[in-house]
Amino acid sequence: MILFVDKLTNIDFSYLDHHRGILGETLLANIRLTGELDEQSMVCDFGHVKKTMRHWLDTELDHRLAVPCLSPFIKIDEDGDYLLIQFQLENDQYIRTRSPKSSIALINTDVITPESLAAWASKLLLVHFPSSVARMQLDLVNEDIEGAYYHYSHGLKKHNGNCQRIAHGHRSRIDIWANDKKSPSLEQFWANEWHDIYIGTREDLIQAPSEEGKDYYSFAYKAAQGNFEITLPKSICYLIDCDSTVELLAWHIAQRTRQLHPEYFIRVKAFEGIDKGAIAEA
């Protein structure tokens, strides 16, 4: 017998990729549980499935930086409650971070994909279910977005929750209207502008080093969960003069688009992951 729950929850996180750098991602979780019926004539109670899955994914992956710890391009060192990670990119640049262990997910794979994440999570999750469950299949899939979207990573030092982590992110839809008419061209402009990008707040920029002719940005701040630091190639960073909350990102897009197109009244609906976000006008 198979029990299923589709679109059980969604997770927002970032991960390291040798080719693309740091990617903000949003995935939907679908689950299949195979087993015998118990004394309640159930494979497993839906309440237990939903509570267990949501809690585990929220705790172990959501709003973390997922790191492929078996990659030949990574070096990981421990420093008390912190992890020091250096990840080599294909263009001979690197991403380096020093962050609390609680903000990092060490994934037992050499390359992070939805499939490798699901396989890692499934092995760790199965023990949280009753013996009537013999097998678990976890599928992590993207939201089906018709139109433009972008991947961005960021950190919110003022946030009281897990958004304060310096490298978490989202795969987000963008809707823009110019003079009340939907504008796919403006939406695609921002999808290209924020393709695999790290959005950094200028006041968190502590230095802009150059090494072997390659330019970097280093960001750092202190938050409730600890001290966070990250250094990335300048080419994959986008600087703003405000915090990177979705409210201010929507405002930034609206203001910047109006500057580029003063003939239009601009309305922006910026998403942060799935079915949530902010609206701004300029």
Q: What are the sequence ranges of the domains in the chain?
A: 2-171+204-241
The CATH superfamily of 2-171+204-241 is 6-pyruvoyl tetrahydropterin synthase/QueD (3.30.479.10)
Tokens for 38?
């118990």
Q: Tell me the per-residue pLDDT of 82-105, one tens digit each, with 9 for 90 and over.
A: 999 999 999 999 999 999 999 999
- Would the pLDDT of 43 be above 70? no
What is the rounded average pLDDT for all residues in the chain? Answer: 95
Least confident of 29-38, 72-81, 242-251, 258-267: 29-38
DSSP 77: E
CA 60 to chain centre: 13
Note the pLDDT tens digit of each residue in 151-188: 999 999 999 999 999 999 999 999 999 999 999 999 99
The region, left, alpha or beta by phi > 0 then psi within -120 to 50, assigned to residue 80 is left
Q: Is the distance from CB of 55 to CB of 121 less than 8 angstroms?
A: no
Residue 133 confidence (pLDDT) = 83
The pLDDT, as a whole number, for residue 46 is: 76
Residue 48, pLDDT score = 78
Instruction: Tell me the pLDDT band of 44, cut-offs 50, 70 and 90.
Output: confident
Residue 32 pLDDT: 87
**pLDDT confidence of residue 39:** 66
| Tens-digit pLDDT profile for residues 194-206 | 999 999 999 999 9
Q: Summarize pLDDT for 102-138 with one digit per residue, the tens.
A: 999 999 999 999 999 999 999 999 888 887 888 888 9
Token reading at 217: 């940005």
For the cut 90, the answer to whether the pLDDT of residue 261 exceeds it is yes
Amino acid at position 36, single letter: E
Give the list of residues 6+ apart from residue 70 with CB closer than 8 angstroms, or none. 108, 109, 110
Query: How many Å apart are CA 156 and CA 245, to the nearest integer?
Result: 7
3-state secondary structure of 252: helix
- The DSSP output letter for 71 is -
Q: How confident is the model at residue 66 (pLDDT cuts 50, 70, 90)?
A: very high
| Tens-digit pLDDT profile for residues 207-231 | 999 999 999 999 999 999 999 999 9
Average pLDDT over every residue of 45-56: 85
